Structure 1
Amino acid sequence: MFKGFKEFLLRGNVIDLAVAVVIGAAFNTVVERVVDSLINPIIGVVFKADSLDNAMQVGLPGGGTIAFGALIGALINFVIVAAVVYFVFVLPMNKLRRPEPEQPPVAPTETELLTEIRDLLRAQGGPRTDEVPVAGEEPPGGPQHKH
C-alpha cells in the first residue's frame, strides 16, 4: 500500500503539478497587486469608482445589482495571468523542447559505393577483386593474346 503511494508521489507529473500549484498561487498574488495598484486606479478615474468591483453596476428592480465592472476585472485578471504564463513559461519551454532540425543524409563517397558493389559481387559469387585487373595492369597469368 505504501509502495504504491510512494510511486504515485514520485511520478514526474505529480511533482510538476505541485510546483505549478505553488507557483500559480504566488503568481496570483502578483496579478492581484497589479490590478489593485495599476488597473483599479485607472478604472477609478475613468468610471468614477474606487475599483472595478464597484464600477458599472446596474440596479435591478428586485433590489439586486449586476456588476459589469467585476466581470471586466475578472477578465483582465485572466488575460494578465494567461499572458504571463504564456510568455514566461510556455514560450521558453517550447523553444527549449523544439527538436534540432534533422541533418540531410550524407551521400556515400565514390569509394564507399565501389566497396559496396564489390562486396555485393563477392556475395553473388562474382569475380574476386584479386582476379580483376586494375586499369593499366596486365591480368593475372601474364598477357593473353588472342589468336
Structure 2
Amino acid sequence: MLQGFKDFIMRGNVIDLAVAVVIGSAFTAVVTAIVNSIINPLIALVYKPDPDSGEVGPAFTGIHGEEVTFPLGGLLTAIISFFAVALVVYFVFVLPMNKWKERQAAKAGVVDEAVPAPTETELLIQIRDLLESQRGTVGAPTRSTEPPSI
C-alpha cells in the first residue's frame, strides 16, 4: 500500500503540479506588488483615479449621467501576473524537469525515434492482402504492390 502511494507521489507530473501551485501562489504576490507599485502609478499619470473606488483608468459618462471608470490597472495586474507566473513556472520547473526526464530516458536506453507512419497506399495494400488471406485466396496470382499509374 505504501509502495503504491510512493510510486504515485514520485511521478513527475504530480511533483510538477505541486511545485507549480506553491510557487505560482507565492510568486503571484510578488508580481501583484510590482504591478501595484510601478504599473498602476504609471497609468495614474495618464488617467485620474476614480474618487469613489480609487480605480485607475479611462472614465466615461454613462447614459444616466454618472461617470463610469474602466479599471485598467486591475486588468493589467491580472494579465502581467498571469504571464509572469507562467513564465517563471515554465523556465524554473517545467523545462528543467523535461530535461531531467530526457536524461533519465537516455540513461535507461529508451530511444524516442519517430517511426514514419505508413502511407495511405501501403495501408490499403496491407488491407487488401489481409482480406485475400482471410478469403483463402492465398494461392491466387499476386498483384503488384505498386499503385496504378495514371
TM-score, normalised to structure 1's length? 0.45
Kindly indicate whether structure 1 or structure 2 has the higher relative contact order, using CA contacts under 8 Å at least 6 residues apart: 2
Larger Rg computed on CA atoms: 1
